[in-house]
Structure 1
Amino acid sequence: MAATPLSSSSPTTPTSSTRYTRRGSPYLPTSSELLLLAIFPVLLLFGTLFRVLSPQTRDAVMTTAPGANHYDQAPGLAPSYFARKDNLLNVFFVKRGWFWITVTIALFVGTHPFFTASDKQQPTAKNSSLLGRRGSVILRWGLVTGWWILVTQWFFGPALIDRSFRLTGGSCQVLQAAVDDKVAADEDPSQLLLVATASACKHVGGQWRGGHDISGHVFLLVLGTTFLAQEIGWVLWRQAASASTVRVADTRSLVMYDGAVKSAEVEAERATISPDAASSEAATLASRIALRFAAVVVGLCLWMLLMTAIYFHTWFEKLTGLLVSLVGFYSVYLLPRWVPAVRRVVGIPGL
């Protein structure tokens, strides 16, 4: 990720304010992380503008279903193959997105020397994570996966996306008719409402109507991309920094137990990989395959995010999908930087 060269003429004991400015705030992403995060609103904005300005999409037939925000799915009427929900990338990649994200991180952790090096190359330190490198990655994967489950799958009943849809006035056409029948018969419709989810509605042949539909595709694709970028990007940067002849500084800032704000370099010594070990291990076929696989998955995530921005959802639904995903990103990757007790358990990528 971001690196700041340190010249030999730099003072060895800069003032705390200078060091803080160079590293940035522990409460906010680093400059390189901001560049990554900027990709998402740029893609969403470009897709929204393309949808409005392109004759291909502007003149395409929209579905006649009330409350739907996508184009007609008939092959001859859809403005693009990717405007159809049955396109192969949507069916086999996005719909199973978290499976591919999990496979990607498992391959990386299982093959990269940062995780496969011997215990002698991974000395422990006072501030290191209690779970070790692999344990920390698994925990962070579990936390991000938990957020994905709560938002899209289950939240003590319907998922947050389903709950927000109903709270904003949305309903399932078929289920709502059944609820109205029970109300008319003075019966309790609560059991029907408990299963009022998008999947249940689709299963009985109904469709969501009205309400605010947070874009699950945007949420998944942004969350998965930021997760992989954090877990893989900082490890690769740490490996490059360890092998470099030019001293570079980690731009992340951490709040210590005594309240002092220090560079992540304070905890970085234990994360250094021997250049010889790193170069020999990283050259293995399995490691190269894992990195290329990760690059393909991230590339597909960004491509499908663009397709979603062009062909599906309103701009506000896409915006809320982005914001909800960033809540998970901040909680898992930025919160530990300024809460030492959380960092002690969750750890920091690349350290």
Structure 2
Amino acid sequence: MATTRRAAKQAASPSNSKTEPMASAAASTAAPRNSPFIPTPIERLFLAVFPVVLVFGTVYSVLSPETRAARYDPVSQSHSQDPTAAPSYFAQKSNVFNVFFVKRGWAWITGAFAAFVFTHPSTAVAPRRLRASLRWVAVTSLWFFVTQWCFGPPIIDRGFRWTGGRCEFANREVEMGDTSIGEMVTSMACKAAGGKWKGGHDISGHVFLLTLGTAFLMQEVGWPILRWSGWLTEERSVVMSDGALKSAHVEAQEPVGQGAGRPPLGLGGNFALGVMGLNVWMLLMTAIYFHTWFEKFTGLLTATTAFYIVYILPRFVPGIRQIIGLPGI
């Protein structure tokens, strides 16, 4: 009987020895999913461009003899606008890139988005284009509330007033006895009336615009191309309606790699890439020549918050994701 039991164990042991390594190998190859509450590793890599550019530009402005020697006006958040005294062509607000690109920044960003979404084969599915358009509406609304109007003054101007800022009287109005200019609540109205917007904390609108617009295009162009070309299967995780954590791939309408072997960017993608590149360059110029470090930091923080609301929040709130979806899905 004892011999029979030993034979049975020996017969069983080979299969166990084969099964256990297979199980352990499967366990070792099953990588844990990325958290849906934070950007994925590849997203963090690209988002790191913004703080790196701002830090580099701020340090450069301190170390550069030309920039350090130029007079800085805290009211206009810039160096001298006299072309003979400005430390660089890009330090002048009248430079062609600032006037025709940054000042019309959201129009360029919108044009790049539309050129990609409505021409690239990765977004040819109608529901995908509709959801991409809804995300554009969401991001544009946040940009509008921060910089243009938010049931009254925009958030940037409200923050300026809340931190003690006001419109300094213009000489002409003071001489005429009109002191109402001091109570104006928007920087645009103040400057149009000849006053100076000073005394409070001014969130950098340029940093906000350039950061949010570039991050928006990174998402709307990057993820569709990565999945369509097959360069990346999927890193994003989503929380399902039942609370389960799954790969975002489960909600995809098409498999990964449909465009493998074909030119990945296309005309729309190249245009968007050019706009993103110019955005980053002008962000660097802003970091070097305009605003204090804290104004740039709050501009970056405000843009990051808007990005999180539109692109990270839907990953763990299924109700929002069902409406605006995820790029490339």
TM-score range, shorter chain: 0.7 to 0.9
**Runs of 4+ that moved beyond 4 A:** 9-15, 175-178
1:172 alignment partner, SS class: strand
Give me the whole-angstrom Cα distance separating, in 2, the residues matched to 1:174 and 1:156. Answer: 26
Give me the whole-angstrom Cα distance separating, in 2, the residues matched to 1:253 and 1:12. Answer: 24
- Counterpart position of 1:83: 91
Out of 224, 234, 245, which is 2:213 matched to?
224
- Counterpart position of 2:17: none
Change (3 A) 1:71 1:274: closer
2:43 alignment partner, SS class: helix
Change (3 A) 1:212 1:155: same
2:233 alignment partner, SS class: strand
Q: CA RMSD in A?
A: 2.8
Q: Structure 2 unaligned runs (5+)?
A: 1-20
2:302 alignment partner, SS class: helix
- Counterpart position of 1:172: 167
Deviates more, 1:167-176 or 1:153-162: 167-176
Higher relative CO (Cα under 8 Å, sequence separation at least 6) belongs to: 1
Give me the whole-angstrom Cα distance separating, in 1, the residues matched to 2:142 and 2:53. Answer: 23
Change (3 A) 1:307 1:86: same
Report the count of equivalent residues.
307
**1:240 Cα deviation from its structure 2 partner:** 1.4
Rg larger in structure: 2
Matches within 5 A, 1:1-351: 22-63=32-73, 67-116=75-124, 132-174=127-169, 193=183, 195-241=184-230, 249-268=233-252, 270-272=253-255, 275=258, 288-351=266-329
**1:14 Cα deviation from its structure 2 partner:** 5.6
- Counterpart position of 2:18: none
Give me the whole-angstrom Cα distance separating, in 2, the residues matched to 1:10 and 1:56. Answer: 65
**1:116 Cα deviation from its structure 2 partner:** 2.5
Give me the whole-angstrom Cα distance separating, in 2, the residues matched to 1:44 and 1:85. Answer: 18
Is this contact kept in 2: 1:168–1:212, CA < 8 A?
yes
Give me the whole-angstrom Cα distance separating, in 2, the residues matched to 1:44 and 1:87. Answer: 20
Aligned residue type for 1:260 = A
What's the TM-score, normalizing by structure 1?
Answer: 0.80
Q: Structure 1 unaligned runs (5+)?
A: 1-8, 120-131, 184-188
Is this contact kept in 1: 2:75–2:196, CA < 8 A?
no
Give me the whole-angstrom Cα distance separating, in 2, the residues matched to 1:35 and 1:296. Answer: 19
**1:11 Cα deviation from its structure 2 partner:** 7.0
Is this contact kept in 2: 1:26–1:253, CA < 8 A?
yes
Give me the whole-angstrom Cα distance separating, in 2, the residues matched to 1:12 and 1:214. Answer: 53
Give me the whole-angstrom Cα distance separating, in 2, the residues matched to 1:11 and 1:345. Answer: 40
**1:182 Cα deviation from its structure 2 partner:** 6.9
